[in-house]
Structure 1
Amino acid sequence: MNILVLTGAGISAESGLGTFRDVGGIWAKFDPMKLATPQAFARDPQTVQAFYDARRENLLAAEPNAAHRALARLEAGLAERGGRLTLVTQNIDDLHERAGHREVLHMHGELLKARCTACEAVAEVRCDLAGGSRCSACGREGTLRPHVVWFGEIPFHLDAIEERLMAADLFVAIGTSGAVYPAAGLVGAARQAGIATREINLDPSDNAYLFDETDYGRASETVPRWVEAVLGM
C-alpha cells in the first residue's frame, strides 16, 4: 500500500508551535505582507530576520508529539510490507525528522536552513540571522535569508509530489487549513485520479467536503489511532 500524507500546522500545534490561519494564529497577530514576502525582506531585512529568529528559537525548544511519532511508525511499517509512505509537509519545522522520518518533502522550506541570495547555497543554521551573517559557501556577508517559501514564491518539490500522489492508493491530509494552494489542491487531484482520500483534523478544513472520509479531534489522538488501524489491516 502506498500512502501520501500531507501535514500542516495542526500536527505541530500540540508541540507548542503556532498555527497560521486559525483564530489567534500567527497571521492574526502579524501582517504576513510585512514578514513573509520577498518585498518585505528587501525593504526591512532585520525585522524579517528577527521574526524568523524568534520562530527558530521556539522550534529548537519544541519536541515531536504522538502524531509525529505515529507517522514515523507508519513509514517504517509500510516499508516492511513493501509499501511506501510519502510524507509531504507544509511545515517548516523539523519535528517529523526528529520523530524518526527518513524522508520528508518540505514544500514550504525549512526553518533550520538558510539560503544565500548571492550564490543560492543552502546551509544548516541554528543561530540568529538578524545580527548579521556570512555565507559559508561564497563568503559574502548579509546575504543569508531563511530557506522558506514566502508569499509569491513557488513551493518546492512540486513535480515529485505530483508523481508520488499519482502512485498512491490513499491521500491523507492532517492538520491542514485547506486554504493554501497548491497544497489545498492535492485532494482534488487525488479524487480526479480515483485515489481514496481522508482528512484528519481538529476541525473541518475549508475543503473538507472533498474528502471521502473524515476524522476530527486532537492530532495526538486521531493520528496514532488511524496509524494503528492501517498497520493492523
Structure 2
Amino acid sequence: MAKIVILTGAGISAESGIRTFRASDGLWEDHRIEDVATPEGFGADPELVHEFYNMRRATAAAARPNAAHVALAQLERAPQHQVLVVTQNVDDLHERAGSQHVIHMHGTLFGHLCHSCDHRWPAPAISTAHDLCPACHQPATRPDIVWFGEMPYRMDEIWTALRGADLFVSIGTSGNVYPAAGFAQDAMRTGVATLELNLDRSSGSHIFDESRQGLASVLVPQWVDQICTAKPN
C-alpha cells in the first residue's frame, strides 16, 4: 500500500470561488493583514475580525467542491493507497467532497477557539466579540484560525506522516511560506518521491521530482486516474 501525503493550498479552492490570498484581487485587499490576521489585530478590534471571518465563513459555506476535491476523495477510497490530506485552506471543501483524513494546519472557518481557556467548539454562521465561551463563560471567542505569528496545528503529526510517505504531492500552493515550504525539501532529504501540481511553476518547482502546470480541476483528476489505474511494480 502506497502512503501518500498531499499538501493543498488556495489554488485548489480558487476554482470553487474562494479567492486566493496573494492574488491581485485577493480576499485581503480591503483589509490590512495586520488588522484581520494577527493576534495584535484581534486585540485591537475584535469586532472587525469577527465580521471579516463571518464574511469568509459565508463564502466558504456557499462554495462547492470542484473536480480536484472530488478526485482526492476518490483516491482516498482506492484500496491500494493510504492518503493524508494536509491543507493550508480553512474551508471544508475536502470534507464535503468525501475526504476522511484531513489535517487543517491553519485551522478552520467553521470552528471557534477560546483565547482564555483554549476550548474549541463549532462556529455559528455569525459570531461577535461578545460571544461567550461555552466552557469558561468568558467573552473570549476568536476564530479557530492560525494567524501570522502563530504555530500551525499538528505539525509533529504532519512531519511524521511526511517522513514515512512514499509520495509527497503539493497542489495549488506557492510553497513560499514556512513551515509548509519545507515539506518538499524534507521529503527530498528522506528519499520520498515528490510531485507538484500547480497553476504556474512555483519558486520551489526545481525541488520536486516532477512539476505539472494547469488548473487543479484538470490536473488532479488526471493524476488520480493515472495512479489508480497504474499496474503495481
TM category, shorter: over 0.9
Q: Indicate if the aligned counterparts of 2:129 and 2:141 stay in contact, CA closer than 8 A.
A: no
Q: Helix, strand or coil for the counterpart of 2:203?
A: coil
The aligned runs of 1:26-175 (5 Å cut-off) are 26-77=27-78, 80-81=79-80, 83-130=81-128, 132-140=130-138, 142-175=139-172
Q: Distance in 1 between matches of 2:112 and 2:156?
A: 23
Q: Distance in 1 between matches of 2:31 and 2:69?
A: 27
Q: Distance in 2 between matches of 1:206 and 1:33?
A: 25
The alignment's TM-score, normalised by the length of structure 1, stands at 0.95
1:225 to partner: Cα distance = 0.4
List per-residue Cα deviations over 1:95-151 (Å, max 9, x = no partner). Answer: 0001101110110001100001122110011321136312222222x2110001000
Provide structure 2 residue ranges, at least 5 long, that are not aligned to the other structure.
Answer: none
Q: Indicate if the aligned counterparts of 2:129 and 2:142 stay in contact, CA closer than 8 A.
A: no
Provide structure 1 residue ranges, at least 5 long, that are not aligned to the other structure.
Answer: none
Match of 2:217 in 1: 220
- Kindly provide the amino acid, as one letter, of the partner of residue 137 in structure 2: G
Q: Distance in 2 between matches of 1:175 and 1:30?
A: 24
1:58 to partner: Cα distance = 0.5
Q: Indicate if the aligned counterparts of 2:6 and 2:169 stay in contact, CA closer than 8 A.
A: yes
Q: Pick from 202, 205, 209: which aligns with 2:206?
A: 209
Q: Distance in 2 between matches of 1:46 and 1:213?
A: 45
Confirm or deny that 1:183 pairs with 2:180: yes
Q: Distance in 2 between matches of 1:43 and 1:192?
A: 43
Stretches (4+) displaced over 3 A: none
1:29 to partner: Cα distance = 4.2
Instruction: Give the length in aligned residue pairs.
Output: 229
Q: Indicate if the aligned counterparts of 2:129 and 2:140 stay in contact, CA closer than 8 A.
A: no
Q: Distance in 1 between matches of 2:132 and 2:122?
A: 13
- Kindly provide the amino acid, as one letter, of the partner of residue 104 in structure 2: H
Percent sequence identity is 48
- Kindly provide the amino acid, as one letter, of the partner of residue 127 in structure 1: A
The alignment's TM-score, normalised by the length of structure 2, stands at 0.95
Q: Indicate if the aligned counterparts of 2:83 and 2:101 stay in contact, CA closer than 8 A.
A: no
Q: Distance in 1 between matches of 2:200 and 2:93?
A: 22
